[in-house]
Amino acid sequence: MSIKFRLTLMSFLQFFVWGAWLITIGTYCFNAKGWTGAQFGAIFSTLAIASIFMPPITGIIADKWINTEKLYGILHILYGLVLFYVPYVNSPDTLYYVILFAMIFYMPTISLSNSISYSILKNNGFDVVKVFPPIRVWGTIGFIAAMWITNLTGSKANSNQFLIGAVAAIALGIYSFTLPKCPPQKSISKNSSLAEVLGLNAFKLFANYKMALFFIFAMFLGAALQLTNMYGDSFLDDFKNVPQYAGSFVVKYSTIIMSISQMSETLFILAIPFFLRRFGIKKVMLFSMIAWVLRFGLFSFGNPADGLWMIILSCIVYGMAFDFFNISGSIFVETTTDSNIRSSAQGLFMMMTNGFGAFSGSKISGYIIDKYFTHAEGKDWHGIWLTFAIYALVVTIAFAIFFKHKHDPKALVEVHH
């Protein structure tokens, strides 16, 4: 097998093992188990908790002590073993800790899989900028494939979704031991301060007004990033309680409809270089924020019959909403920070969006849904999505007014070459 094919298979499985349950765990917790928004919000917030502290810890371990591909394999096997336990859990409080453990093992593997790909491609003389994106796109395809399998096997509202992820995770863990070796770089010297070892130097960036503002907006938008992953499938599945929509395609294949969002991602990832060169980072991030307003607003007014076009369009704009923010934000960090703290600065961006932002989004949204939008007859999804759309609109207007950034096409050309 060629190196590129082996890394493509790793990328496919990396996101397959997550996509098997990430989009449908809401349907499992709300519609099958009947748990509250606050209970589910807490369970989903474990992704964010693990994102805050695990990637830097595993980064240090891989830098100093153990081959990256071995650490990656061990983490996936542990993640798979934890998922096997989910069917035995019947209380939301217990599931909180089980999913937290699963996320502690899984979340760091996302950045480790990038490190393994970069390392192996460089060692084999490939141009990473050219060769890596087509490999990474297969990760999104893996995520979509897992969603389809979960839906078509009738597993979206039962615990089989976790077993699908578990089997694939253990297979990926064993497979990763066969990959070319990625030994520790031992890049942390004995003279390094504790702040350097933990990547805390990047926090100095908060002293810079523009960077501080950028990270604060990253956190506010981070709160919106996982909301449709949390509630989207459950929202579509809930139309079964409305007699005229009960037998509709949307209710039956809600997870497949949601997967249009990930398909759209694969296209928008490829469009980013053009948009960045043409419009600059601030405008591209504004496009992303406007797309979030549309993502939520269209869900608010959509339905499985005459409003189906709104649900489909919402899934299409998701690609722009998610990728334009994540990838252009990461390029902004790359082009505006000093090279010796660049990795830590990227970690800080991840921590603010997927960590603190997603954590507050998960917890607060669960609380708001319980308090204002859950009635005896079910959930007021129109009100829920409209509230999220208004939130995204406020963040967009504030970003347009307060965040000042001059477009410099030359800075971007340097990143792409």
Q: Domain map of the chain by residue range?
A: 1-186, 196-417
Cβ 63 vs Cβ 186: under 8 Å: yes
In DSSP terms, 374 is beta-bridged to 379
Q: Which residues of the chain have pLDDT under 50?
A: 412-417
| Model pTM score | 0.82
pLDDT at residue 346 in the model: 72
The alpha carbon dihedral of 145, 41, 103, 215 has a sign of: positive
pLDDT at residue 410 in the model: 60
Name the residue type at position 13: L
> For residues 396 and 393, what is the distance between their CA atoms, to the nearest angstrom?
5
Dihedral angle over CA of 338, 341, 347, 351, nearest 10: -80
Cβ 159 vs Cβ 87: under 8 Å: yes
Nearest to 174 by CA among 105, 68, 75: 75
pLDDT at residue 259 in the model: 95
Superfamily of domain 1-186: MFS general substrate transporter like domains (1.20.1250.20)
> For residues 17 and 12, what is the distance between their CA atoms, to the nearest angstrom?
9
CA distances from 345 to 268, 318, 342, 404 (A): 24, 26, 5, 20
Nearest to 333 by CA among 353, 348, 351, 355: 348
pLDDT at residue 119 in the model: 85
The reply to whether 196-417 shares the fold of 1-186 is yes
> For residues 55 and 19, what is the distance between their CA atoms, to the nearest angstrom?
20
pLDDT at residue 198 in the model: 60
pLDDT at residue 58 in the model: 81
Largest pairwise CA distance in the chain: 69
Name the residue type at position 312: I
- Report DSSP state, residue 233: H
Q: Which fold has domain 196-417?
A: Growth Hormone; Chain: A; (1.20.1250)
